[in-house]
Amino acid sequence: MDYKKAGVDIEAGYRSVELMKEHIKKTMRPEVLGGIGGFAGAFDLSGIKQMEEPVLLSGTDGCGTKVKLAFLMDKHDTIGIDAVAMCVNDIACSGGEPLFFLDYIACGKNIPEKIAAIVSGVAEGCRQAGAALVGGETAEHPGLMPEEEYDLAGFAVGVADKKEMITGQSIKPGDTLVGIASSGVHSNGFSLVRKVFEMTKESLDTYYDELGKTLGETLIEPTRIYVKALKAVKDAGVTVKGCSHITGGGFYENIPRMLPDGVKAVVKKDSYTVPPIFKLMAEKGGIEEQMMYNTFNMGIGMVLCLDPADVDATLKALESAGEQAFVIGQVEAGEKCAELV
């Protein structure tokens, strides 16, 4: 009896690491020390000394049951972007710059080419966010997980000067809400998505005219990363008062998280066009409108709260960064909540 006969292939683990290295190299920053293969990822923080009060920010998350879609489609090279996005977008929401990222893959069986494909997506997400992929772990769990399945999660660390953090404390009635478009469903609500649509190859390969692509292609679209978009707004001289990443819980849970007491966010539903995938889900699943806005991003991945005088500069900066953005509402006096009208 040996470890391989028990279900854990050490040699496959070594091969996975070798295949990953070419992807990881693309994410390197000058601050990374020691390269890949050490027991810990090392990152030189001397560069943040110019900040008056540097604050480290961290975020950890996974892709939820969206990984089930990757299994069914046998497409593993974008799910890593989702894992990175879920973490770095939260850091950016607080006004931070993501510095580095680590991933954790738990799998039933280590198939090196599949693991390398997953990590290629993680590396691409890190590249989009400007973060270094400094390490990770691939854990083989025979007997605990089916051989063809895996789960993916990650952890990111960022930094912000305390005076530049986005806290929401200065939000007041009369401020404007700007929504930045999502790339689709992102990585939330897939437990409901999988109840609405049959999760079969035939169903996922079905082409829908209103989507302009197959259902599977629409659903697997990776979560948009907003780090560079928010940096563009900052570089335009705009002070973002509040920022909300629209993830699980949709509008109703996430928008109030950026608000101080005594104000509410009033969102106008007709201020932008809801992408067809959400209308299709609501129709096919018989899902009430409030539940849709309480579960999904409905086409808005990030909401910014701004002084009205900064709206034009913000929209221009976001457009230059390649983002679609819309004025979607305003802040009013009232009990802290998100109100959709």
Mean pLDDT of 315-340: 97
Average pLDDT over residues 281-298: 96
pLDDT tens-digit profile of 129-142?
A: 999 999 999 999 98
Q: Give me the amino acid identity at 119.
A: V
Interior/surface letters 200-232, b for 16+ CB within 10 angstroms, e for the rest = eeeebeeeeeebeebbbbbbbbbbbbbbebbeb
What pLDDT does residue 263 have?
97
Exposure string (b/e) for 104-121, b if CB count within 10 Å is 16 or more? bbbbbbbbbebbbbbbbb
How far, in Å, CA of 196 to CA of 214, rounded?
15
pTM of the model: 0.93
Q: Which residues pair with 157 in a beta bridge?
A: 58, 100
The predicted pLDDT at position 7 comes to 59
Residue from 90, 111, 91 nearest 9 by CA: 111
Q: For position 41, what pLDDT does the model report?
A: 84
Return the domain boundaries, the chain: 10-164, 176-340
The secondary structure of residue 48, as a DSSP letter, is: G
Architecture of the domain spanning 176-340: Alpha-Beta Complex (3.90)
Q: How far apart are CA 202 and CA 199, in angstroms?
A: 8
Phi-psi region of 190 (alpha: psi -120 to 50; beta: other; left: phi over 0): alpha
Q: Tokens at residue 322, please?
A: 């390649």
Q: pLDDT band for 250, please (50, 70, 90 cuts).
A: very high
Judged by DSSP in three states, 139 sits in strand
The answer to whether 10-164 and 176-340 have equal CATH topology is no
pLDDT digits (tens, 9 = 90+) for 180-239: 999 999 999 999 999 999 989 999 999 999 999 999 999 999 999 999 999 999 999 999
**1: which residues sit within 8 A by CB, 6+ positions away?**
none
Rounded to whole angstroms, the Cα distance separating 329 from 312 reads 14
When pLDDT is cut at 50, 70 and 90, the band that residue 295 belongs to is very high
Instruction: Identify which has the larger pLDDT, 11 or 85.
Output: 85
End-to-end CA distance of the chain: 66
pLDDT over threshold 80, residue 144: yes
Domain range 10-164, its CATH number among 3.30.1330.10, 1.20.1070.10, 2.60.260.20, 3.40.50.720 = 3.30.1330.10
